[in-house]
Structure 1
Amino acid sequence: MSPAPSEPRGPGRHRLFYALWPDALVAEKLEGLQAGVAGKKTQRQDFHLTLAFLGEQPAQALPVLESVLNRLSRPDMTLVLDRYGCFKRLDLLWAGMNSVPQALFDLQLSLSMALRASGIVFKQETAFRPHITLARKAKTMPETDFSPIVWSAYSLVLARSESMPGEGRYRILASR
């Protein structure tokens, strides 16, 4: 069983999450939504839709986490990103969906259940609010709508947060 996510990061610990990862074309379109946005913009290679944030996990949990990933059905759904949103408390600007497909909620629930069944301890959000972060420390919302971005979501990943200036913030450890 993994330790609680509130434990400090130390040697052999990783800050991990599961996410849907967009292809290069969708990432390019998302980057285009950042035009005129003030704040710390997400780099193109880092765009993702988080399904479960695991927080700090020990390195020895990685085989179990990869096994959970491999047991999940490969996603095969179309997401239509068609709205801006923000989490004001976090000053976070995001792109999301007016109509979220049930398949996305089902995938997120299956993942959460598989993690619990595998003994992985993590803080679960009270409500799943699917979004893709465009910018942090964003003080204003864009005033215009954008043309919908159609995303055939099929890449599910286990990723790690890293500090690599200029190289991206996240590293994919395993994918399905």
Structure 2
Amino acid sequence: MPKFTWHTSAVPEGLPVRQVYGFLFVPDGRLLIRLDGSKHSLPGGRPEPGEVEYVDILRRETMEEVTVGIGEPHYLGYQCVDDGISPYAQVRMAALITTVHPPEPDPDSGRTYRRLLVHPGKAGDLLSWGETGYLQATAAAEAAVDVFALPGDDLPETGYL
């Protein structure tokens, strides 16, 4: 069973980054959750050959999966996944959604994902990533308020984008 640990430092030299995911916020402070049937996740994915900049990976993946443009992302940290064979990193970033386009099928999967907007405090439960998921969601909620100056309380109800 893999072991997951959350770190707010930079990814160590030599630890491969296999995924980059984003906590994406709309201006009213709600968080976008990607919905695939009943499965909740964040937009993001794997680097393509030649991609090394986390920002570039996140921008491409958010446009492909949930057809939104984002502002300058803020690095939150990484989750180390130790599968007992070859540990790797999953980078997490936060960003503001700047443009919203009509939903389109993801070029990789052919699926069109629904875009659920939720209070950031619900992210840990919806993502079901355990303790490290709650730590990541908390870091994202703090960045929403401290970095992006979004409201932290009295947010609108859950809805779809």
TM-score (norm 2): 0.27
Higher relative contact order (CA 8 A, sep 6+): 1
TM-score (norm 1): 0.25
Structure with the greater alpha carbon radius of gyration: 1
